[in-house]
Structure 1
Amino acid sequence: MKLQIFAGLSLLVFCFMAMGQDNDTKLIMCKDCSYSESKKLAKKYAPSSQCFKSNPSGSMTSGTQTCHSSPRKVIIADAKGNNHHAFTVRHYNQGTAWLELAIERARLNTTDYEAIRRVNITANNLEKLASELENELKGVPLTGRDFVIHSSQPQGFRSDSQNAGSCPAYISDAFDAVYDGKATTRFSEAVNKKINRESKAPSKAFMVKSMNGDGFSVEVSGVSYSGSWKDVVRVFNTEIDWERRNPDVPASDIPDYKVVYGLTWNDRWGVIEVDVNPLLTVLGGVSLSGYGKAGRLQGLDPCVEREFDKYLRNEVTHSNNTSSGGDAWDNQQCEKHYYWKDGTLAFTVLVPC
């Protein structure tokens, strides 16, 4: 009887560990990853461990704790071929404080192959969509008239920006596209109407739970895969360059203003989500993410400052910095702090007091 209980317990533990492995699979799409490179990469995805005190009333030390983890399957899949590598990443010495990491070769099953297939199909179709959208946008003026993605029923962007003072309208249009939200909404509507018009069943073209340039998730036969790209160039962005659509823009100003939208497939809602890509979007010659990283800026173009003033909360405070020469008060500088919508500091500009 004791033997049967032990055997049953062992089977239960084994099933639990197998379930933990099968339902926590990492899938990395890689270009030209060798076996040794793949093994090193798999090591980065070691399963998390939990440690408990062996004596609840005692202190927590290395000698009085037990640690456990469930094995994880890691697949390094060849994005261009079939040279895939699979590993089981586990810890030995379960129940002790000294877990030992081990990486063992594993086999791909039919579910794994199906997940890889779905990721590749979705990536190719999403990339094709982004390319088609960008081609349709090329040469289309976005200032002062409608933007339409070809459709039997027009829908698109209408720019209502007026040239205020000496500031070109395309600068205001670019900021509107980033911060106003209306341009993004209209573009999102146009994108999804295009998908539904050309494909009656988008889920057959986009066969994963979610996907964008950062990564993806896919579920096959109850097994969930969370994944990312390594050394694989995937372009799921659509670029709108306002300056190139305005014949009055000096060539020297290009590409100081462009807005790049990133596309994300969301299977839950069956739609393509559209968001501004902060790394690739450029306002006044600086990437949108660069403003947040720049800390103190010596100054902003007046037209750029006017637009930031319109969309971001700001306040001016005195600075201890003064420029050399002349009257100290006349040359005193103040700091103009800009804040994101969540209240965190975006960046600071030095301005005359």
Structure 2
Amino acid sequence: MSESLYVMDDSNLQSISYETLDLWFPQTVSSDEAFEGTLTSGIAGAKASLTFSGSAIAVFGIATTVEGANPPAVQFAIDKSLTVISTAPNNGSVDFEFPFLDVEDLSSAQHSLEITVLNATKAYPFALDFVAYLPISGATPTASQRIITSSLPEPTTPVSSTNSSGAPVGAIVGGVIGGLALLLVAGLAIYVLCFRRRSSGQAFFYATPAKAEDLLDQGCPTPYQLPPPSTPGFGAQSYYSAAPTSAPSAYSAAPSAYAAPSAYSATPSAYAASLPYTAPVAASEAPISEYSAGTSTSGPSHPPSLYVVNNAALSRDSPNQPRSKAAEAGLLSVPQPATYHADSGIRFNSAGESLAATKAQGLDDDGRDV
């Protein structure tokens, strides 16, 4: 369907603003090749802009083929939100009315269009021919614009478009800087806290909790004196030593006939003097018979067995041990000298009177008259 279109030629400087004049190159060609016989070629970095009041717009140029050169790529931004990037085909053919841009269904209002050449060289530049748009109701063309009756063609190549509706660059940069500042402040706070904890001697850093005044104490504590080691209970240079009391004995199963107190244990002898000292027991303070292997009323039921220890210098005398329990109880391993008492010859009766006095008075042993 043919409609009235408003056309802006590339040479119309009143409608098209070329911002980078050093990157745009006007050309004059045959009218069969371009609209009104003019072209404006731009290379990478060239920019231009224009405004229009319409609901559709198209940008036409020349697409040719250049061996060894990349085709031009151009970016179009409508109202700084809708972005379209278009690339020439470079397929071996020549198109004198190639639609680099064809956008429809725009709102019925005034719009802006920005053109930026992304990739183009002088060998194969972006050749702009004209811009055509479908005016809105009530819009009138300017004196430099022409009105043609035609329809906007469909683009011959796919067009990639992206909506640039993201956050502003300034806001993004500010957010990044703010985040970095927050991380820096947090790291500094953690460092200060750790340093204070270390200097205050917290247990986390294994520091001593002692205070300064405690370390300045001039008092000297009295060292603990260890008591002298006790002398072994068997006496010095003893030929015998006590064996473990828990060792099994063949004589501990049944009472022995020799369990009763022996006559040999009451009187000290030379053999008893040479025997080693054995520890006293609470059951009886009487000496233990060397023949007692079972239950005894005068000593422990199981006296410790004796075994020979290696001692080159055997000693037959066992001196008293001043620190042993036997010495404290008065039981010494060395026999004491006997004490003898003389008989006075005095006798007493059942009444407790001396027999010599009663006989002198004529009385019998029981105190009765003779």
Report TM bin, short chain.
under 0.3
Please identify which structure carries the higher strand content. Answer: 1
Please identify which structure carries the higher helix content. Answer: 1
Q: Taking structure 1 as the reference length, what is the TM-score of the superposition? A: 0.19
Structure 1 or 2, whichever has the larger Rg, is 2
Q: Taking structure 2 as the reference length, what is the TM-score of the superposition? A: 0.18
